[in-house]
Amino acid sequence: MDRPASSAPTVGTPPDLTPEERTLLLDLARACVAAAAARLPAPDLPEEAITPGLRAPRAAFVTLRDREGELRGCIGHLDDTQPTWENVRTAARGAAVGDPRFYPVAPAEVSSLVIDVNVLGDAVDLPDPAAFDPVHHGVIVSRDGLRALLLPNVGPPLGWDARETLDAVCRKAGLPASAWRHPGTSIRVFATTEFAEDRPT
């Protein structure tokens, strides 16, 4: 980074979801992927199953991978005024049939996919990019009406350091890679609660 490193910002605690709530969200995501692949409406959760944790307004991402771990779709729903479970439902459908990088998921594929859910915590401003931690921080950049997001630990497995991760999220937003260096670019970071199905053997 161009400035001396400083202490990392305090990022809000990741959303606290019980094992039962995580299972419900994974089951819901799978049902939504199957429904989307079959061109059927997305299912609802029964009212009695919607706990306060699932009703809390949180943005969410759903990622689909094949048996080999290759990405098959990933979509986030960032409306943090909607309940967590509704955002997971919308994101799951989007990951199945709305990711423009991939063909829509076919019904025959659904059973072989592994579903991963990220529920996002509150984002906080990052006034000093030198404090960005690409392993533990998700990041949102925005400028001039353009915005993009990367989840935590997306960059390091690809060999990106903090600077390269910030470059990448700026390019994803349609901004110059160096936009994060300049005043007027908003950089916010967040933590997530991530959970996934077991990979089929």
CB count, 10 Å around CB of 89? 25
Asked if the domains at 19-120 and 124-190 fall in one CATH topology, the answer is no
Phi, psi of 186, deg, nearest 5: -85, 130
Q: Which residues pair with 141 in a beta bridge?
A: 148, 187
Q: Which residues of the chain have pLDDT under 50?
A: 1-7
CA dist 137 → 1, 61, 141, 188 (Å): 16, 15, 13, 9
Torsion of CA 101, 36, 31, 93, to 10 degrees: 50
- The answer to whether 24 and 47 are in contact (CB under 8 A) is no
Report the pLDDT value the prediction gives residue 5, as an integer from 0 to 100: 43
What is the identity of the amino acid at 170? Answer: C
Report the pLDDT value the prediction gives residue 12, as an integer from 0 to 100: 66
d(CA 27, CA 20): 11
Report the pLDDT value the prediction gives residue 195, as an integer from 0 to 100: 96
- CATH architecture of the domain covering 124-190: 2-Layer Sandwich (3.30)
* Encoded tokens for 171: 């390019």
Report the pLDDT value the prediction gives residue 127, as an integer from 0 to 100: 85
Residue for token pair 């960059």: 155
d(CA 175, CA 172): 7
Report the pLDDT value the prediction gives residue 36, as an integer from 0 to 100: 98
pTM for this entry: 0.86
Domain coordinates in residue numbering, the chain: 19-120, 124-190
Torsion of CA 17, 18, 19, 24, to 10 degrees: -70
- CATH architecture of the domain covering 19-120: 2-Layer Sandwich (3.30)
What is the identity of the amino acid at 31? Answer: A
